[in-house]
Chains A and B, each alone.
Chain A
Amino acid sequence: MREGAFFRGLARENPLLVYLLGLCPALAVSDLVSKALGLGAGVILVLLAAVAAARLLRPVIPERLQPLVWLVLVAALVSLVDLAMQAWLPALRQQLGVYLQLLAVNCLILGLVERLARRRSLSRCLRLAAGQGAGFTLALLLIALVREVLGSGTITLFPFGSFGGVIRIPGLSLHPARAVSLAAGALLVLGYLVALAGRLKAGRRRAEQRSAG
């Protein structure tokens, strides 16, 4: 795994599985794969736009007002994404419900904007933000895959041409374990994935120590 600014956010510094940021949407919209992908895309868009705008605006805003301005900025961008989805992807927007609008106070987005606004290089900022957004989406996708397959026996993607959008898994779709699609299942799946990520990280660290020492 290359250590570039982008790839860091995917695995080693994955915001959801390593730093446990953005748990609220992670638990709420990970019961369907399409919802996970939709929200993830929204997060990436808002993140990139917000980081870029904040980075450009920072020199002209007094220090004490900056957190407020970032909040307004993110809220405005989330509203934009919300309106765009209402226009072009209304079904998805309905499914995501309030959790799309809640991105305005998402700790991952706000935290990253706050942190990256100070950096010098715009391209590095964007790469870091893209990496974190992609990492979040990837983690969300993993949770959603497990939850939807076990909890509903399906994988819901976006309709494309003659493809209806829902893949049914033969055995499971008859008798899925519905509890996995419920809140308890979300916490369980997230817990196991975080533990797995931690284990992989510890293993990698041990391997590095062994090769260094």
Chain B
Amino acid sequence: MMGSCQSGLEAPVSRELAGLIALSRSEVRRTAETPCIGCGRCVSACPWSLAPVEIYKALEHRRFAEAEEAGLAECTECGCCAYVCPARIPLAAGMRRGKSAAARG
């Protein structure tokens, strides 16, 4: 849930590699993104009791102070929020990008 996609089989494998997962297309269940319906599943799923949707929306509008207030720094990018989001919003990826964007200011 927190790993990164590899582009091909040439990627090197080192001692630190914790695991390698190969998923079939049907297991990935990828669908297009739709608007947020405010179902609150991300809020229930977050292990840190954050509200990913609020952070994500603040980041979308580049309101970094608001995002920080909503808890951007506490996000560990575990991906639980994106796992349950029915609208398939890339919440975890948004947080990751948002953190670097906020740092850059």
Question: Does A touch B (CB under 8 Å) in the complex?
Answer: no
Which residues does A use to contact B, with CB under 8 Å? Answer: none
Which residues does B use to contact A, with CB under 8 Å? Answer: none
